[in-house]
Structure 1
Amino acid sequence: MIRHSPPAALLAASLLLTGCGGGAAAVQDHRPGAAPAVSTPQAPGRPSPENTVAAPRKLPGLGPKTLSEVPSDARQAVVVTGRGSDSPLSTVVLYERTAAGWRAGASWWAHNARNGWTDHHRAGDLRSPIGVFTLTDAGGRLRDPGTRLPYDRGSGFTATGTGFEGEPLAGSFDYVIAINYNRRPGTTPLDWTRPLGASRGGGIWFHVDHGGPTHGCVSIAEQHMVELLRALDPGRHPVVVMGDADSLAR
């Protein structure tokens, strides 16, 4: 299903009120290739080690508190694991629940907010929210690549300017998936309704990586955004589980 973007005036207002969806100053990410050489998951596009072993019955790396927040009907879980509580570097793995357990897809380099993670996100704190959130809506500047999620294409997804490290932001919103933190599900990612209030931030998206830390979003390479968009299935009730490794293990 394709939605039409709201009028230009409303788009402009929405970009001022979103987080990573907030225009030039609001989308900053580290490119996967810029990550320092440390012991971390495999490079983008290569199979995760979980693919070669029996599927675990529970999502790996998640503790009882986090697992209790994953809806029982969720059959897809995008797990974003931050390298540290104050780090902008993370990895993304899409898990599919089968009769045998949770099976992992590839492990992709990703980037989160400049200051890391928080379990009480507030507007302007430059931290990504920790938690489990549903994924229901997508959009972008470019044509729908074949997602089953409702997809809103429009010029409101144009990013301009530069990020924290002077990197150009152009193309960052070519493809986005709204993360349902402090937003109204079932609407365009550009919708600025904030159920928790404006002070709690919003506009938290998956979007295309461009080479510097974000304000709160999670960014991955363009080819992986396309893969993720094509893989997510509303009928499987996809969620994102996101946070630094220690927080997710609680």
Structure 2
Amino acid sequence: MRQRRSERPGFVRLTLGEIRVRAMIGDRRRGQLLIGPAVIPCALGAGGIVIDKREGDGGTPRGRFRLRGGAYRPDHLGIRPRTALPLRPTRQDDGWCDDRRDRRYNRPIRLPAPGISAEAMWRGDGLYDVVIDLDYNRAPIRKGRGSAIFLHVARDGYRPTEGCVALARADLLRLLRRLGPRTHLRIG
């Protein structure tokens, strides 16, 4: 586990170089996020960790991903979470295109977007109170290979995600303090 100093002004805290996620033995929909000796429970996609990710398969993609930054819901959190990652406040019209027919596939969009399949980023259930964009299927974007793969807040009981990695809100907020632009998430 390599640690690096954050390059963001005002931050002197060491940021993590890599964090890992592995599936639980006996339940591929649940996982563990590993930071050195620390183990944090997490939810995975209903299809478990997959090598050949496809849109809508419920799988969490295997690989090593950069954390691109993300968003937080200011009316639920009150203040911006402490992190060296770039974070912006979510707006009510924020969405994420998951329509493989659209040129904006796997990119943020503004809602409403008539005739386009998109996920709302402003959610009432709290799952996206904090959301970090993983660098999955981003450069280049391959249509149909999966979109909106995030690190976000878990449902009660760590119920499965659509393919993301999800942590308890308190765990995610604590973890954010140690994440920076050079941190990678290794899944699998």
What is the match of residue 199 of structure 1?
Answer: 144
Q: TM-score, normalization: structure 2?
A: 0.68
Aligned partners of 1:150, 1:215: CA distance in 2, in Å? 24
Match runs of 1:222-233 below 5 Å: 222-233=169-180
What is the match of residue 155 of structure 2?
Answer: 210
What is the match of residue 177 of structure 1?
Answer: 132
1:158 partnered with 2:103: no
Unaligned 5+ segments in structure 2 are 3-14, 95-120
Residue 198 of structure 1 aligns to a residue whose secondary structure is coil
The answer to which structure has the higher strand fraction is: 2
Whether contact under 8 Å (1:86, 1:115) holds in the other structure is no
- Letter of the aligned partner of 1:197 in structure 2? R
- Letter of the aligned partner of 1:154 in structure 2? T
Residue 138 of structure 1 aligns to a residue whose secondary structure is strand
Aligned partners of 2:22, 2:33: CA distance in 1, in Å? 7
Aligned partners of 2:72, 2:37: CA distance in 1, in Å? 24
Q: Identity percentage over the alignment?
A: 30
1:140 partnered with 2:76: no
Q: 1:88 aligns with which of 29, 34, 55?
A: 29
Cα deviation, residue 204, structure 1: 0.5
1:120 partnered with 2:25: no
Number of corresponding residues: 142
Whether contact under 8 Å (2:61, 2:163) holds in the other structure is yes
Whether contact under 8 Å (2:16, 2:178) holds in the other structure is no
Cα deviation, residue 120, structure 1: 1.1
Name which one, 1 or 2, has greater alpha-carbon Rg. 1
User: What's the CA shift string for 1:203-238, capped at 9, x where partnerless?
Assistant: 11110011320110000010111112111122xx21
1:129 partnered with 2:65: no
RMSD value over aligned CA atoms? 2.3
Aligned partners of 1:107, 1:114: CA distance in 2, in Å? 21
Q: 1:183/1:140 Cα in 2 relative to 1: closer, same or farther (>3 Å)?
A: farther
Whether contact under 8 Å (1:85, 1:116) holds in the other structure is no
What is the match of residue 17 of structure 2?
Answer: 76
Cα deviation, residue 78, structure 1: 1.2
Residue 82 of structure 2 aligns to a residue whose secondary structure is coil
Match runs of 1:30-69 below 5 Å: none
Q: TM-score, normalization: structure 1?
A: 0.52
The answer to which structure has the higher helix fraction is: 1
- Letter of the aligned partner of 2:171 in structure 1? H
Aligned partners of 1:172, 1:78: CA distance in 2, in Å? 21
Cα deviation, residue 106, structure 1: 2.5
